[in-house]
Structure 1
Amino acid sequence: MLIIHLLFHLQDGHFVPNLTIGAPVIESLRKHTNAYLDCHLMVTNPMDYVAQMAKAGASGFTFHVEVAQDNWQQLVEKIKSTGMRPGVALKPGTPVEQVYPLVEGTTPVEMVLVMTVEPGFGGQKFMPDMMDKVRALRQKYPTLDIQVDGGLGPSTIDTAAAAGANCIVAGSSVFGAPEPGDVISLLRTSVEKAQPTT
């Protein structure tokens, strides 16, 4: 399944060094769109943000496995109880095996986000070796939504799609393009072509 939606990075200045948008921006946008508002929280205490993101109108809530080792099951249950879709992200240095329990849990996450750059700053170079994680996830969980974020654009999309990613986050390559729509179309086509036929 190909998923196209708006992704927002929320950073607390602690898990990653800089600060970004928060719930008020999500709330403002929700008034003008029915789009899927996917929120990737690069924060130290994701539990603290669940209620406010749900109230603001977020559709998806992706937290980092590195900060949720002790309470991930409770966190996922809380996210789902608000009607948001739970996802888990992992940084480049985190072994992919750390997310397996979250995919296989009694109340599982519904998406895994493989960071293909170090989180916190846009415009970084795509790390192709992260595709080993994507391939491992796709082989182990054929129907799982697998998102990749960082350095995705026309020159890297085929690599990510072929590895099994079906949710693509693209920032600089889209917003920096003379014709953003053309880039979005190219990314979409690459992912659609790589999807298994059923």
Structure 2
Amino acid sequence: MPDILIAPSILAADFARFGDEVRAVDQAGADWIHIDVMDGHFVPNITFGPEVVRAVRRHTSKPLDVHLMIMPADPYLEAFAEAGADAISVHVEAGPHLHRSLQTIRKLGKRAGAAINPATPIEHLVNILDDVDEILVMTVNPGFGGQSFIQSQLPKIAQIRAMLAGRTVDIVIDGGVTPETAGACAAAGGNVLVAGSAVFGGGTGYADKIAAIRNAAEAAK
């Protein structure tokens, strides 16, 4: 299985101190910076656009993993790529032409990801396994941070890892990741752990929080 990577989600950061927060988690050991983009349409919340990605890009050299919870996504792929995204994930549920979206992301020179909601069957991924660099498994219902981990997604993670059949594709786990849930995620086959509240909540000490999640996952691999 690929190495365990920790991707703090800036959805849980102090919005008034974005630059400081991004630099802090970078220095604290983050492997990626995760940016949750929501449109108030596909999900019931509105967050960031390309200009926020551009602003974050100035504060870190770590990969920016942009998760588009928007519908449609295709008209905005180029803008997010140009703003500095290193990887862009689009939702299986957000449009009729997933393969085309993934092709577009790769043509833009970025890592392509497919995101899947808790209630969506994994069969929707079967025909795009050779067109993705990462599969993002939602372990909460998308739209808000701070939700509890949905345990029923653990078998789904394992099924996706088996379905990949040795392909070098990252499985990104997004939602409710804490030191208490990280081990089960890694044991099931997830290797990129997105953590928002578990990193940014409760003040500083980001290095200890990132290390706790990483250690729990590594111990369970």
TM-score between the two structures when normalised by the length of structure 2: 0.82
Partner in structure 2 of residue 118 of structure 1: 141
Q: Does 1:46 align with 2:69?
A: no
The C-alpha deviation readout for 1:59-104, integer Å capped at 9, x for no partner, is 1100100123x31222111111111111011111101111121114
Task: State the one-letter code of the partner of 1:18.
Answer: N
Shift of 1:190: 2.7
The C-alpha deviation readout for 1:102-157, integer Å capped at 9, x for no partner, is 114xxx01111110000001111101110111000112223321011111101111
C-alpha spacing 1:194/1:155, structure 2 compared with 1 (3 Å): closer
Aligned 8 A contact 2:176 2:195 in 1:
yes
Unaligned runs of 5+ in 2: 6-30
What number of residue pairs does the alignment pair up?
A: 191
Separation in 2, partners of 1:151, 1:21: 20
Determine helix, strand or coil for the equivalent of 2:34: strand
Task: State the one-letter code of the partner of 1:148.
Answer: I
Identity %: 39
Partner in structure 2 of residue 81 of structure 1: 107
Q: Does 1:128 align with 2:128?
A: no
Separation in 2, partners of 1:95, 1:77: 22
Q: Does 1:190 align with 2:216?
A: yes
Query: Match for 2:90 among 58, 63, 82?
Result: 63
Which one scores higher on RCO, CA 8 angstroms, separation ≥ 6? 2
Task: State the one-letter code of the partner of 1:120.
Answer: G
Task: State the one-letter code of the partner of 2:141.
Answer: E
162-171 vs 143-152, greater mean Cα deviation: 143-152
Determine helix, strand or coil for the equivalent of 1:155: helix
Task: State the one-letter code of the partner of 2:201.
Answer: G
Task: Point out 4+ residue stretches in structure 1 off by more than 6 angstroms.
Answer: none
Query: Match for 1:29 among 43, 50, 56?
Result: 56
Separation in 2, partners of 1:28, 1:18: 21
